[in-house]
Amino acid sequence: MSCPAPLPATLTLEQVSWGAGLLHPVSLTLARGRVLGVLGANGAGKSTLLRLIYRFHTPKSGRVLLDGADIHATPARKVAQRVAAVLQEQPTDFALTVAEIVALGRAPHRRALAGPSAHDAHIVEHALDRMSLRAFASRPFGTLSGGERQRVMVARALAQEPGLIVLDEPTNHLDIRHQLEVLRLVRGLGATVVASLHDLNLVRGFADDVLVLKDGQPLAFGPVTDVLTPDLIARAFGVRAQARGPARFDFSLFDDMQPEKQA
């Protein structure tokens, strides 16, 4: 029996900022079921923004609204039932098995002191199957490769049945096949998704909308086909981009030292 898709959330950022200039005010609204790619060079503020969205940081100014409700005026357990995060780096010393790690995604949905239900077990099995992890279910988490661990953490997020999934470089440890598989699976969940990614060609095939940051400042937000232009890429990343069809760019460095032509 398959599991129903989660009810996607609406995400609104109202002049959200953090730190002493680390992230300047950002405002946007992401409609239900949309996939947002957050782009920018290293240090642009991508991870800081994601931490605000999944309630790890409290904004210096502004509000993060989920379905119209301020997440910092909402009980943490309620937020955890609707928001799941998959981060870049995962611990390697967990003594838990893969199945036990994935089952942690059910914790926000259980009553205090209550054990897992048959429904919880079904959700966990479904998440393991979706991420092709059934054969790893009894393996200790710490024995897995980086890519396998990342797939486990995505499965844990699926078991959480969130309306919003936040992914910080979710394909960082994956080979190209598993990169495409994970992004396809995440996109097919029906949840609203916010993901930071470095590969601009993956973004063009994965995201509906993009937010581009530079030095903590928002440069542009909107549909990926409108925003992700060669000019914008040059401003954000300092490289030349040439479109090669609807879903691919070729990149090159700017040559700032042109030799003078001899007379």
Identify which of 224, 225, 249, 227 has the alpha carbon closest to the alpha carbon of residue 239. Answer: 249
Q: Residue 3: what pLDDT?
A: 58
Give the H/E segment covering residue 157.
helix 146-159
- Domains of the chain are 11-229 (3.40.50.300)
Identify which of 10, 67, 60, 16 has the alpha carbon closest to the alpha carbon of residue 213. Answer: 16
Identify which of 158, 119, 124 has the alpha carbon closest to the alpha carbon of residue 138. Answer: 124
**188, 2 contact by CB (below 8 A):** no
pLDDT in tens, the chain (263 residues): 555 666 899 999 999 999 888 999 999 999 999 999 999 999 999 999 999 999 999 999 999 999 999 999 999 999 999 999 998 766 666 789 999 999 999 999 987 666 778 999 999 999 999 888 999 999 999 899 888 888 899 899 999 999 999 999 888 777 888 888 888 888 888 899 999 988 888 898 899 999 999 999 999 999 998 999 999 999 999 998 887 766 678 888 876 444 444 43
Which two tokens mark 252?
Answer: 């090159």
Which two tokens mark 145?
Answer: 């490769």
Cα separation of 138 and 256, whole Å?
56
Q: What is the DSSP string of 54-109?
A: TTSS--SEEEEEETTEEGGGS-HHHHHHHEEEE-S---S---SBHHHHHHGGGGGG
Q: Residue 247: what pLDDT?
A: 63
Q: What is the DSSP letter of 136?
A: G
- Give per-residue pLDDT as tens, 181-220: 888 888 888 899 999 988 888 898 899 999 999 999 999 9
Q: Residue 34: what pLDDT?
A: 96
Q: Residue 251: what pLDDT?
A: 84
This prediction's pTM: 0.88
- Give per-residue pLDDT as tens, 113-133: 667 789 999 999 999 998 889
Q: Residue 186: what pLDDT?
A: 85
Task: Please state, as a whole number, how many other Cβ atoms lie within 10 Å of the Cβ of residue 26.
Answer: 23
